Amino acid sequence: MGLLARFLELEDISTICITFRKDIVQLIRPPRILSLKFSAGKPLGMPGDINTQKGIIDAGFKLLEKEIKGMTVIDLPFKLKKMSTL
């Protein structure tokens, strides 16, 4: 995913990368990374957890509006919720 972001940026498309494997994505150095301690199949959290989905997207929009000088990584504090509590 980092490669896609890198080469979209080179075509003048601003990107945000969501990742649960920042160790790998950081090798590519895309400019804007949101890192979460989630896992495959649910990178934006559990089904129906709209607050977490919106929290992640809001963080992405905030980072897009920020002037950055190089790769910027934001560790987001969201935690996976139990499906039964949603």
Partner 1 sequence: MSAILQLTRLAIKLKRPEFEFAEYQDSPIAPLEKPLNKCSLALVTTGGLHIQSDPPFDFSMKEGDTSYRIIPTEADPAEIRISHNWYNHKFINADINCVFPIDRMKEYLNDGTIGSLSKEHYSFMGHIYDTEALIKRASYLGRHMKDSGVDIAFLTPT
Question: Which positions from 46 through 85 interact with partner 1, judged by CB under 8 A?
Answer: 46-48, 50, 53-54, 57, 60-61, 64-65, 67-68, 70-71, 83
28/76 with CB nearer partner 1: 28
Min. distance of Cβ 84 from partner 1 in angstroms? 12
The reply to whether 23 sits near partner 1 by the rule CB under 8 A is yes
Can you list the pairs that 76-85 forms with residues at least 24 positions away whose Cβ atoms lie under 8 Å?
76/34, 76/35, 76/36, 78/36, 78/38, 78/45, 78/52, 79/37, 80/38, 80/42, 80/45, 80/46, 81/45, 81/46, 81/49, 81/52, 82/46, 83/46, 83/47, 83/48
Q: Which residues bind partner 1 (CB under 8 A)?
A: 1-21, 23-24, 27-31, 40-48, 50, 53-54, 57, 60-61, 64-65, 67-68, 70-71, 83
